[in-house]
């Protein structure tokens, strides 16, 4: 508690919570968004658009099931198109949520308390969007359950030496643990909502979800142990999920994929894009709901610094890839490097370098790190850049096969775009709903940040 208090009032830095708040005002302000504030027209408009995009997603998936994946641009040699690009992009975005909630908790970074809840929600929704793609990509989605080991009449089992099966386990574990972590974090706040709700149904539903939480010292004691342990378990997941995703590439012998730099550089890239998404959500949310007291300049700055650091790791990854393409002496690797720089997909490659490496360097400037508008813009640029990175990895390596006779090109069709934009709509729609029915900031963790919460050690 001591440290938390000090960081909260350190005059050198922007505070984690603006001064003047008490236990009551924190509770009031956060729960009011859910309980008393009526939904605004802006909310209905935003949710409406997001909902229509979700419908577009369902429509394009429905048509896909009817026609087969021939409606997409994928073909031999590029069998992995938008579906895999988007899958990796979404899974990566989810990583920031887990990093914020688990690793920063273990490192006692108390500033995380005001952004962990919606970052975790973001993780869950991003994983949901990611999960759509492999399932619809397999061509016969009704047989997706073949990926799981279950006793069957064919008497065969999944191929456990394949990274694609590892991925099934990694992603399903990740989704489960993220959901669990999020829910456990919500329980005390659901109890607060239960006690404060006026509406009978709201009381009943929040009451059931809060599972009899009363805030007893025994509850809190077990709860804190549980939460720490879950954080400890989720921490290796932050590193492992994208590592396993990178194995999908690195274990194959395709030039440009078969490299040991992939796991760390994928993980860094995931956190990079994840923090960009956190900022793109946090900046409008704090503005619209007047939460500048809780999501302060400090949070924006810290997130920007994380982006700067992980962005440099990503830049290092690109550098090593290029260096090894030249130094390794393998003619296919050398060609892949040349092809990235000068081939038919050179424009997206240079755009990727601009978006991921050059533009984010403006974050070295303190004034831009504290300006919500500039951060929002840079975050958007990073998200585009990280999407292009996966596009380059998937498409450029595949479209030039080992034999020139099997070279080809990949052009996404409108169905590819509709599915991709549809998942963005689904993500936003879920986010809009989340803001209205659950506390977007952890109420009880905010209470612990207040100076009044301090107790003297014996």
Partner 1 sequence: MKRDPIYGTMAEFDTPQALIDAAKRTHEAGYKKIDAYSPFPIEGLAEEIGFHFNEVPLVVLIGGIIGGLTGYVMQYWMSAVDYPLNIGGKPPHSWPAFVVITFEMTILNVPRFAFASKDRFFLIVFSSDKKYHRAETRQFLESLAPRSVSEVPS
Least CB distance to partner 1 at residue 152 (A): 11
Min dist. Cβ of residue 193 to partner 1 (A)? 8
Quote the Cα angle for 444-450-451, to 5°: 145
Instruction: Tell whether the torsion through CA atoms of 143, 146, 152 and 155 is positive or negative.
Output: positive
CB 128 within 8 A of CB 426: yes
Which of 127, 395 has the CB closer to partner 1? 127
Q: Which is nearer to partner 1, 246 or 397 (CB)?
A: 246
C-beta separation of 52 from 429 below 8 A: no
Instruction: Please compute Rg for the chain using Cα positions.
Output: 23
Residue with smaller CB distance to partner 1, 128 or 309: 128
Q: How far is the CB of 400 from partner 1 (least distance, A)?
A: 24
Tell me whether residue 53 or residue 244 sits nearer to partner 1 (CB atom). 244
Task: Give least dist CB 23 to partner 1, A.
Answer: 3
Coil vs helix vs strand at 87: helix
> What is the 8-class DSSP label of residue 354?
I
Q: Rounded to an integer, what distance in angstroms lies between the CA atom of residue 178 and that of residue 298?
A: 26
CA-to-CA distance for 7 and 23, rounded, in angstroms?
18
Nearer to partner 1, 182 or 387 (CB): 182
**Judged by CB, which is closer to partner 1: 158, or 412?**
158
Rounded to the nearest angstrom, the gap between the alpha carbon of residue 87 and the centroid of all alpha carbons in its chain is 11
Residue closer to partner 1, measured from CB, 240 or 370:
240
Q: Please tell me what DSSP assigns to residue 78.
A: -
* Residue 183: CB minimum distance to partner 1, A: 7
Please say which residue, 270 or 315, places its beta carbon nearer to partner 1: 270
393 DSSP assignment: I
CB of 272 to partner 1, least distance (A): 23
Q: How far is the CB of 412 from partner 1 (least distance, A)?
A: 31
Give the nearer residue to partner 1 in terms of CB position, either 32 or 39. 32
Question: CB of 275: closest distance to partner 1 in angstroms?
Answer: 23
Q: At closest approach, how far in Å is the CB of 196 from partner 1? A: 7
Query: Which residue lies nearer to partner 1 by CB, 37 or 221?
Result: 221
Q: Per the structure block, which two tokens stand in for 454?
A: 């301090």
| In the complex, minimum distance from the CB of residue 1 to partner 1, in angstroms, rounded to a whole number | 6
Return the H-helix or E-strand segment holding 60: helix 41-67
Q: Which of 68, 59, 76, 61 is nearest to 140 (CA)?
A: 68
Nearer to partner 1 by C-beta: 186 or 386?
Answer: 186
What's the N-to-C CA distance of the chain in angstroms? 13
**Hey, what are 336's tokens?**
């892949």
- The answer to whether 369 and 300 are in contact (CB under 8 A) is yes
Cite the DSSP H helix spans in 328-442: 331-342, 346-353, 366-369, 372-391, 397-399, 414-437
DSSP string spanning 241-306?
HHHHHHHHHHTS--TTT--TTHHHHHHHHHHHHHHHHHHHHHHHHHHHTT-TTTS-HHHHHHHHHH
Place of tokens 């999920």: 241
Interface contacts to partner 1, rule CB under 8 A: 1, 22-24, 27, 149, 155-161, 163, 165-166, 169-170, 172-173, 176-177, 180, 183-184, 187-188, 191-192, 194-196, 211, 213-226, 229-230, 233, 236-237, 240, 244, 247, 444-445, 447-448, 452-458
- Cα distance between residue 136 and residue 114, in whole Å: 36
Shortest separation between residue 2's beta carbon and partner 1, angstroms:
10
Rounded CA-CA distance 90/265 in Å is: 16
């Amino acid at each position: 508690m001591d440290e938390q208090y000090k960081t909260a009032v350190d005059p050198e830095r922007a505070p984690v919570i603006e001064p003047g708040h008490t236990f009551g005002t924190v509770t009031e302000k956060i729960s009011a968004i859910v309980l008393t504030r009526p939904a605004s027209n802006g909310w209905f408009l935003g949710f409406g658009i997001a909902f229509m995009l979700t419908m577009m997603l369902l429509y394009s998936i429905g048509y896909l099931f009817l026609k087969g994946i021939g409606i997409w641009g994928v073909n031999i040699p590029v069998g992995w198109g938008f579906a895999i690009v988007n899958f990796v992009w979404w899974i990566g975005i989810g990583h920031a949520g887990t990093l914020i909630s688990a690793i920063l908790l273990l490192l006692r970074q108390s500033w995380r308390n005001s952004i962990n809840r919606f970052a975790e929600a973001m993780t869950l929704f991003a994983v949901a969007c990611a999960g759509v793609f492999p399932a619809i990509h397999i061509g016969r989605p009704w047989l997706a359950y073949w990926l799981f080991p279950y006793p069957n009449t064919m008497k065969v089992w999944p191929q456990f030496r394949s990274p694609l099966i590892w991925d099934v386990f990694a992603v399903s574990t990740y989704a489960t643990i993220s959901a669990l972590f999020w829910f456990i974090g919500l329980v005390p706040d659901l109890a607060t909502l239960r006690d404060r709700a006026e509406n009978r149904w709201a009381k009943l539903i929040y009451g059931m979800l809060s599972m009899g939480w009363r805030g007893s010292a025994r509850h809190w004691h077990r709860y804190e142990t549980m939460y720490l342990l879950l954080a400890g378990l989720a921490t290796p997941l932050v590193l492992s999920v994208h590592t396993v995703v990178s194995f999908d590439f690195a274990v194959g012998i395709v030039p440009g994929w078969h490299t040991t730099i992939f796991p760390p550089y994928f993980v860094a890239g995931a956190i990079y894009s994840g923090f960009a998404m956190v900022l793109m959500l946090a900046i409008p949310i704090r503005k619209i709901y007047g939460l500048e007291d809780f999501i302060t300049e400090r949070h924006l700055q810290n997130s920007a610094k994380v982006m700067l650091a992980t962005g440099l790791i990503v830049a290092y990854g690109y550098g090593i890839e290029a260096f090894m393409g030249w130094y390794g002496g393998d003619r296919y690797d050398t060609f892949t490097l040349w092809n990235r720089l000068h081939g038919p997909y050179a424009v997206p490659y240079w755009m990727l370098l601009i978006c991921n490496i050059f533009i984010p360097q403006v974050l070295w400037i303190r004034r831009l790190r504290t300006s919500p508008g500039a951060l929002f813009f840079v975050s958007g640029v990073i998200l585009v850049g990280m999407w292009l990175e996966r596009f380059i990895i998937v498409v450029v390596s595949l479209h030039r096969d080992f034999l020139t006779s099997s070279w080809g090109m990949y052009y996404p069709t409108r169905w590819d775009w509709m599915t991709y934009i549809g998942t963005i709509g689904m993500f936003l729609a879920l986010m809009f709903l989340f803001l209205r029915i659950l506390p977007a900031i952890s109420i009880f963790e905010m209470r612990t940040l207040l100076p009044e919460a301090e107790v003297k050690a014996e």
